[in-house]
Amino acid sequence: MSTITNNKQNLPIRVSVSEAERLFGVSSKTIRLAIKNNEVLYIITRGRYKINFESLLAWSQKSTRRHNRLQNRGLGQFVERWRIHNKKYSPSPQLAELVTTNPEVDKKDHQVSENQSDL
């Protein structure tokens, strides 16, 4: 399992109980019950629970009900709004392929026009 980390110091991402509640669409009571049953990894900082985001995500996928809550009440409800519907602002397929196959390519330096067919 890969670790989701904070880019600044390579530390795991941690969220509070109230943040987890909003992100995953479940009640704080449900989150606290998972903490009590040691279903998620957490630390206590200044008397507050800080939950490891990766373990929280894995925990949310174990139950169909929690998974559905994530999709309908949590972050999942916004996914369709984040999709780019206007082709004018979406990346060209050639640029997407170039960036996917060669991650070192800087998107600003290698702009591919829509009319180019050869890469």
112 pLDDT above the threshold of 70: no
Residues sharing a CB contact under 8 Å with residue 95, sequence separation 6 or more, in sequence order: 107, 110, 111, 112
99-to-16, 106, 113 alpha-carbon distances in Å: 35, 8, 14
pLDDT, residue 41, reads: 95
Do 115 and 94 meet the contact criterion of CB atoms below 8 Å apart? no
76 pLDDT above the threshold of 80: no
Measured distance CA(11)–CA(29) in Å, rounded: 27
Closest CA to 16 of 38, 33, 32: 32
Measured distance CA(114)–CA(63) in Å, rounded: 44
pTM above 0.75, yes or no: no
- Specify the fold of 5-81: Multidrug-efflux Transporter Regulator; Chain: A; Domain 2 (1.10.1660)
Task: Quick: pLDDT tens for 78-104.
Answer: 777 666 666 666 667 777 777 777 766
- In the chain, where are the structural domains located? 5-81, 83-113
Do 41 and 55 meet the contact criterion of CB atoms below 8 Å apart? yes
